[in-house]
Amino acid sequence: MLRVELLTYTPDAEKVVAAAAKLCYAKSDIQTLMDGLTPEKTDSFLALLSSLGHESPVEHASYTFGVDGVSRALLAQLTRHRIASFSVQSQRYVDKSHFSYVVPPEIEAIPEAKAEFIRAMEEDAAHYEKLKQTLQAAHVRRLTEQGVDAKEAEKTAEKMANEDARFVLPNACETRLIMTMNVRSLYHFFNLRCCMRAQWEIRELAWLMLAEVKRVSPALFRTAGPSCVGGACPEGRMSCGRMAEMRARAEALGQTDETI
């Protein structure tokens, strides 16, 4: 099951961003700027900043998320967002003999498809286990013949076996990661991935992340979400036609416990 937790973020993020933006045009020193930014002034200035499209100051604030229960297929999409930091559970060092997996909703909804999908996952798991055992046994023999201590040979051989056995693991295999993005990168991420044209799993992740950041920094993420939240839909003829719904959903994140 997909889970998202905001682990940490820049302290006083909204005030830091407002101060960074004001500094460009102010004669006063930095501490005076910070001291003069009341919550009301910070909120007002961030609204002005958003309306002007001046985004470089928001790069001074960053947010770190713990993400669990996502597929390796999602990971391939997520790491295309290059202005970010990712730490991902390794299939090389972590034994995946009894791996969990993500079932797409469309497959879940059709009994015959779900049954076929589960059979494929069970077969992949069986192949992984067989490959791992075969490789590990071969590595142990070779290492002990080279004079490596039996206990050390077993430990080394297991890691070596994992490294190659993982090639049969499916895209559906679950993983977990910690990732950090600054606010400007998050704006771009939400623009693309909260959109109805985004793939379902990364769209669900994006909305969960948006809920987390709006909870702690509502002024910074006032107009964050799919592109249609802060402006016109860029999809042209491919538009989902649900702009009003998307805007209402994004706004509701700051007012309710809605998370997806």
- Residue 1 CB coordination number (10 Å): 8
Where is 233: in which H helix or E strand?
none
204 within 8 A of 115, measured Cβ to Cβ: no
Return the percent helix, strand and coil in the chain, to nearest 5: 55, 10, 30
DSSP 194: S
Pairing of strands 3-9, 174-182: unpaired
- Residue 207 CB coordination number (10 Å): 23
37 within 8 A of 15, measured Cβ to Cβ: yes
**DSSP-assigned states of every residue in 110-149:** SHHHHHHHHHHHHHHHHHHHHHHHHHHHHHHHHHHHTT--
Instruction: For residue 237, indicate whether it is catalytic.
Output: no
Query: Which residue is catalytic, options 72, 193, 203, 249?
Result: 193
Q: How is residue 206 written in tokens?
A: 């994006």
Length of the chain: 260
Query: Which residue, 171, 86, 83, 161, is CA-closest to 129?
Result: 161
Give the integer Cα–Cα distance in Å for 160 and 151: 15
- Active site positions, annotated: 193
